[in-house]
Copies of this chain bind each other. A is one copy, B any other.
Amino acid sequence: MYNPLLLPDLRVMLDEQDEAAMAEFCVALHPAVASEVLEGLESKEVWQVLQNCDWERRSEIFRYLPLTFQIELVQNVDRETLSKLIEVMVPDDRVDLLERLDSEHVEDVLPLIAQAERSDIRKLLSYEEDSAGSIMTTEYASLPEEISVRESLDQLRQQAPDRETIYYVYVVDEGRRLRGFISLRDLILAKPDTPISDVMERDVISVRVDDDQEFVARELAKYDFIAIPVVDNQNQLVGIVTHDDALDVVQEEATEDAHRLGAVEPLEDSYLETPLLTLAWKRGIWLVLLLVAAFATAYVLKQYEDVSTEFHWMILFIPLVLASGGNAGSQSATLVIRTLAIEEMSRRETIKIAKREFLLALMLGGGLMVLGGGWAVCFDSITPMRAFVVGLTVFLVVLFGAFIGAMLPMGFRKLGMDPALMSNPLIAALVDVLGVFIYYNVALALIAT
């Protein structure tokens, strides 16, 4: 989000090389706000402003910039500055950035980074995209089992400056296996001499490092946690995912689903930051696929060319019957896809959905049949029989549309694919092919014979 409010002031500071004022700008504002103002500057100018504050603040402001702008900045700075910046950035943010850089660029910079940080980076980079490992941070607070509450608080004070959160603390054994959990709230309420193992929660809810980020966000949301621990196959604690990352995941996944539903391949960056050609590609592939489907409809229509010459009135209602089916299908698909996005679905619930969609399709199809048929009669040249053909077709098309719309996304999920691939336009396209077929056959059955 770009915030032009303070930009003129900042430009004056830059023109006058007013370092004191720029230093003040960096520390006085919340880093999230400072970053919004900096978005209005050129890369070079951003670095000029940022060099007036310490590295920690610099990285704090930097991390709030949009990823595309971060990449641009990184490409306009020397290796030394970049390596220092990466060293001070928090683990999950720097990995997000490095994942987006050319691997050459990364290999160029990594040797300049301190050994400990470097191996942390390599490890986080190795986790699969969209896994818990890819969004977690390694800067969590942890304690050994054997100490007292008083000692715990002392240790936490030491850990506090470079941990993402100290409000949730994880207790681990010598092998870093997760043994327990305690919140800072419980810690400051506990008697100082109690052993930590007496007050900690032993039944720790955790996720696995290869769990999908959507699942992680769902777990975190379910328990209202500030953070959730991430463990590997040996139950060793390897990181935590914090509430702010979960919120980002939820936003990201909702956007991805919305885009898919609208027949756009999901974008990596925000709409406004995505280059025009990328957008054209992500939309174009779907439009072409849908065009192919539309040609299928044209071919089916061609099979009934003789019929439509004879029953010329039928043309009027082609868009209407096709749209009715597509609309009902879009509705079903949207409801099912969104439900699948929010919760896991059991077999029992799948059956329940199929039943509901069938009943709904009967009701909605019936209603539209009456309205559609009834209104069609008002057209010149439309006899009640012809109107009945339209009505019955609407009914059947809605029935099939809703069924396809509800069942295909669930089928996709079952095959391990994204249910949201079943976009509204794709459903409409499938229903179009089927709709033409139904329309002409209903007409042939009711009138021609």
Contacts and interface: CB of A to CB of B under 8 A. Distances in A.
A283 to B, nearest CB: 5
A333 interface: yes
Given A221-B251, A244-B221, A335-B259, A156 B320 contact: no
A230 interface: no
Interface centre among A293, A330, A380, A436 (most CB of B within 10 A): A330
A364 B291 contact: no
A84 interface: no
A263 interface: yes
A281 to B, nearest CB: 10
Main secondary structure of the interface of A (DSSP, over half): helix
Given A271-B335, A319-B297, A425 B261 contact: no
A284 B364 contact: yes
Contacts of A255: 338, 342
Contacts of A224: 32, 244
A334 interface: yes
A337 B264 CA distance: 13
A261 B258 contact: yes
Contacts of A316: 298, 301-302, 305
B188 A279 contact: no
B262 A324 contact: no
A247 B258 contact: no
A373 to B, nearest CB: 11
Nearest to A402: B283
Contact of A1 (B222, B291, B302, B317): B222
A344 interface: yes
A309 interface: yes
B343 A1 contact: yes
Interface in A136-184: 153, 156-157, 160-161, 166-167, 184
A188 B264 contact: no
Interface stretch (A41-49, A100-108, A126-134, A349-357): A349-357
Contacts of A290: 323-324, 327
A98 to B, nearest CB: 20
A291 B372 contact: yes
A367 interface: yes
Interface in A267-293: 270-272, 276, 279-280, 283-284, 286-288, 290-291, 293
Interface in A353-408: 353, 356, 359-360, 363-364, 367-368, 371-372, 375, 379-380, 398
| 5 closest A-B pairs by CB | A262-B334, A254-B254, A294-B320, A224-B244, A327-B425
Interface of A: 1-2, 4, 28, 30, 32, 153, 156-157, 160-161, 166-167, 184-185, 188-189, 203, 205, 220-224, 226, 243-244, 246-248, 250-251, 254-255, 257-259, 261-264, 270-272, 276, 279-280, 283-284, 286-288, 290-291, 293-295, 297-298, 301-302, 305, 308-309, 312, 315-320, 322-324, 326-328, 330-331, 333-339, 342-344, 346, 349, 352-353, 356, 359-360, 363-364, 367-368, 371-372, 375, 379-380, 398, 424-425, 428-429, 432, 436
11 contacts: A243-B244, A258-B261, A271-B338, A283-B328, A284-B363, A291-B368, A295-B320, A297-B319, A305-B312, A319-B432, A424-B424
